[in-house]
């Protein structure tokens, strides 16, 4: 017998704000966009003293990625929660009325794709034209 597992998307509630180019906050929930990594500001602590592997530490590019993600935001967001990362953030696919936010950042070259972070290849399937 084959079991099917469906993950339902739900609407995000509460005040929503962009933290950086790959993270948003909805109320008290920190949400990391699945499968991507955006540049970090070298002054935010994540790039010191030893950067995370393959980290992009660039203040200007970090600011551009954050601005890009803000441009994708709409009052209504849908979320498909996938799990949690080692920092306790929710890993998720998030959609605005404009786009899948991970795909939005990839299309604008504001983030890089990491297949090992893409649970179920959800991002790869959603935007194959930018995922190589």
The residues near 66 (Cβ < 8 Å, ≥ 6 apart) are: 18, 19, 20, 21, 38
Q: For 79-127, how does the pLDDT look when each residue is reduced to its tens digit (9 = 90+)?
A: 999 999 999 999 999 999 999 999 999 999 999 999 999 999 999 999 9
Distances (CA, A) of 25 to 18, 19, 48, 60: 6, 7, 23, 22
pLDDT digits (tens, 9 = 90+) for 29-82: 999 999 999 998 887 766 655 455 566 788 889 999 999 999 999 988 999 999
Pairing between β-strand 29-33 and β-strand 90-95 as defined by DSSP bridges? parallel
pTM of structure: 0.86
Which residues make Cβ contacts (< 8 Å) with residue 50, sequence separation at least 6? none
CATH architecture of 12-126: Beta Barrel (2.40)
Task: Name the residue ranges covered by the structural domains of the chain.
Answer: 12-126
pLDDT at residue 47, rounded to an integer: 66
Q: How far apart are CA 98 and CA 96, in angstroms?
A: 5
The phi, psi pair for 47, rounded to 5°, reads -105, 0
């Amino acid at each position: 017998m084959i079991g099917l597992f469906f993950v339902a998307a739900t609407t995000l509630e509460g005040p929503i704000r962009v933290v950086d180019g790959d993270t948003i906050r909805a109320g008290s929930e920190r949400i990391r966009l699945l499968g991507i990594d955006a540049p970090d500001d070298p002054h935010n602590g994540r790039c010191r003293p030893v950067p995370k592997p393959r980290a992009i530490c660039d203040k200007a590019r970090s600011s551009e990625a954050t601005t890009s993600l803000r441009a994708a935001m709409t009052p209504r967001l849908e979320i498909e929660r996938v799990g949690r990362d080692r920092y306790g953030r929710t890993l998720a696919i998030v959609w605005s009325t404009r786009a899948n936010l991970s795909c939005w950042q990839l299309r604008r070259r504001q983030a890089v794709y990491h297949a090992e972070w893409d649970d179920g290849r959800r991002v790869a399937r959603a935007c194959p034209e930018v995922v190589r």
